[in-house]
Amino acid sequence: MEHLEVPTHFVVTVKWGVPRTDPFMSELSKHNKNQNMKKIISAIGISCLILVATSIAARAEDDLVVKHFTESGSFFTGKKYGTWQEFPDVATTNAFKRAYAYVAKNGYKILSSDREMGVISATQDVVHSQKTVPLNILVEDSGHGGSKVTLTFSIGGGLSTSKKGVQETFSKIMAEVGKNSEAP
């Protein structure tokens, strides 16, 4: 046990890392200490909220999948979702391979692909239905050494999905395409 001299002339005993104050500390001092702790905790809480809010806003603003995201149609006519993203450091051959591998590994049935044209056409089964929904991927040269990947996902009339879920899937595909720049 160690004793520390505190400028207010109270002896503080530190035992297992927990400070203990003198039992003769005035009620006013205890109240002031509690008020100061509340202010500190409130300030920390507010700082954390501001930090989280700004990081979420910055992330959404920087997310090109969301920035270029389009949605058209209705529940009755069917909906079409799309997005695109450029990858200046990923050649079209690597972008195509990565997109193809992601689609094959994640439950899509690849109906056709054409490496030369940069097109991958795949479908996914609809839960509790005989229907399928198409996902089309176009990988093309961006014109300056990299690649541009365009994703299109459609659902027929009477089907629904969440916009957020589509955006998350698109983000995962794009993340796979853009990983490790030129590593195959």
The C-alpha atoms of residue 21 and residue 5 are separated, in whole angstroms, by 11
User: Which of these, 17, 41, 21, lies nearest to 8 by C-alpha position?
Assistant: 21
Provide the residue-wise pLDDT of the chain in tens; the chain has 184 residues: 444 444 443 344 444 554 555 555 556 566 666 676 666 666 565 655 555 554 444 344 457 788 889 999 999 999 999 999 999 999 999 999 999 999 999 989 999 999 999 999 999 988 888 889 999 999 999 888 899 999 999 999 888 899 999 999 999 999 999 987 655 5
Q: Are 88 and 177 in contact (CB under 8 A)?
A: no
Six-digit token string for 123: 């479908």
- Helix axis angle, 92-105 to 163-178, nearest 10°: 130
Determine the pLDDT at residue 183.
Answer: 54
Left if phi > 0, otherwise alpha if psi is -120 to 50, otherwise beta: which for 21? beta
Determine the pLDDT at residue 30.
Answer: 62
E strand or H helix at 30, and its extent?
helix 27-62
Does the pTM exceed 0.95?
no
User: Amino acid identity, residue 49?
Assistant: L
User: Amino acid identity, residue 53?
Assistant: A
Distance, C-alpha 96 to centroid of its chain: 23
Quickly list H helices, 68-139.
92-105
The dihedral over CA atoms of 181, 182, 183, 184, expressed in degrees to the nearest 10, equals: 120
Determine the pLDDT at residue 8.
Answer: 43
User: Which of these, 158, 173, 81, lies nearest to 120 by C-alpha position?
Assistant: 173
The C-alpha atoms of residue 98 and residue 101 are separated, in whole angstroms, by 5
Walk me through the domains of the chain, giving residue ranges and CATH numbers: 2-62 (no CATH), 70-178 (3.30.530.20)
Q: Are 92 and 119 in contact (CB under 8 A)?
A: no
Distance, C-alpha 54 to centroid of its chain: 14
Six-digit token string for 161: 């999905």
